[in-house]
Structure 1
Amino acid sequence: MATQDEVTETIRGWFTGRLPQDLFDGPPEVTVDREEITIVGRIPEPETADDASEAERAAAREGRIKEFRERTRESRIRVASEAEHKFRRKVSWWVRCGETTQPFTTLAVPMMTRLRQRDRQVLDTLVDAGVARSRADALAWCVRQVGERAESWMAELRDAMRTVERIRDAGPDLDG
């Protein structure tokens, strides 16, 4: 069975070969999990006057992103349809223009969990305080907070998981 890294590399390679060569400035960033493939491509920043304000530059980037989205919609849908059939995962598109990154499509996957009263009280406090609209939103908020604040720890954990995968794959053949 292929490791997660091998699956990601295969999918990244497929998209690199399948996307129109002039779609993005360079190869796209490809992130893969069990349900979704996220493609983040860089597009050229629009030229603005040397004395343009940051507000003007931001508006120009926003306009460039909108133009790109509309112009490439059909080809992106065609590629996504092929990929979804081939890899059995949904495809999400994001674009990066200068310092602006914007999603076009994303997937929200429902997750089931059992929580004890103390954990439910945390979610209810977030709802009561107006941080979240529902327990589901509160749980998603908590997950985002951990992901943002524990980035180096999460990276270290993922590296350790890759090491375990390599060791497991190199282990003795127990089927023979």
Structure 2
Amino acid sequence: MSDDVTTGKVSSWLRGRLPEAWSPDGVRVTVDREEVTVLLPLPGAEGDPADADELDGRVARFRSESRAERMTVADEAERRFGRKVSWGVTAGERTELFTTLSVPVMTRLRQPERVVLETLVEAGVARSRAHALAWCVRLVGQHSADWLAELREAMTAVERVRDQGPTP
């Protein structure tokens, strides 16, 4: 497994590996320690389709028809980058994930933070502390989207500069 797996490296490899019909130049890739998530633009669904049922059908058809090829690419990428590969499609503002990992995260919380989680569980907002924590992370992500986007852009710029530098 490579310790220097970056979004840029995975994206470049995928652009060369994915079928042209999948618009590899429009692929969005997210990389973390465990997983590579690949979001493909849904073929034939330019813009934001108005008919949700039709879009559901297109997503289901693409998922079914592309499964064998996606699994072949995923197997190659998993060997190359040492991370599981998850897939999804985008159509306009809609994102539909086919597969994703659910990774346990260990954290230590003090009583005030645990009280927040317990309140969410007791109120029926969450099923468990783990579910409550995931809910909180999603909520923070939604309300700080601009700041997180700016941070991700800065990290991408750092990756780009790192990739252009000398190799050890």
What TM-score, normalized to structure 2? Answer: 0.82
Gaps of 5+ in 2: 163-168
More RCO (CA 8 Å, sep 6+): 2
Partner of 2:11: 12
Answer yes or no: is the 8 Å Cα contact 2:88–2:96 preserved in 1: yes
User: Which whole-Å CA distance do the structure 2 matches of 1:162 and 1:95 have between them?
Assistant: 22
Q: Offset of 1:94 from its aligned partner?
A: 0.7
Residues 45-56 of structure 1 correspond to what in structure 2 (within 5 A)? 45=45, 54=50
SS of the counterpart of 2:77? Answer: helix
Counterpart residue identity of residue 137, structure 2 = V
SS of the counterpart of 2:115? Answer: helix
Verify: 1:73 aligned to 2:72, yes or no: no
Q: 1:104 to 1:165 in 2, by over 3 A?
A: closer
User: Which whole-Å CA distance do the structure 2 matches of 1:28 and 1:165 have between them?
Assistant: 18
Gaps of 5+ in 1: 47-53, 169-176
Partner of 1:150: 144
User: Which whole-Å CA distance do the structure 1 matches of 2:32 and 2:100 have between them?
Assistant: 13
Deviations 1:89-137 (A, max 9, x none): 1111011234432110011110001111111110000001111000000
Verify: 1:35 aligned to 2:29, yes or no: no
- Larger of the two Rg values belongs to structure: 1
Answer yes or no: is the 8 Å Cα contact 1:3–1:165 preserved in 2: no
Q: Which moved more, 1:17-26 or 1:103-112?
A: 17-26
Among residues 133, 141, 157, which one is paired with 2:135 in the alignment?
A: 141
Percent identity reads: 52
Counterpart residue identity of residue 45, structure 2 = E
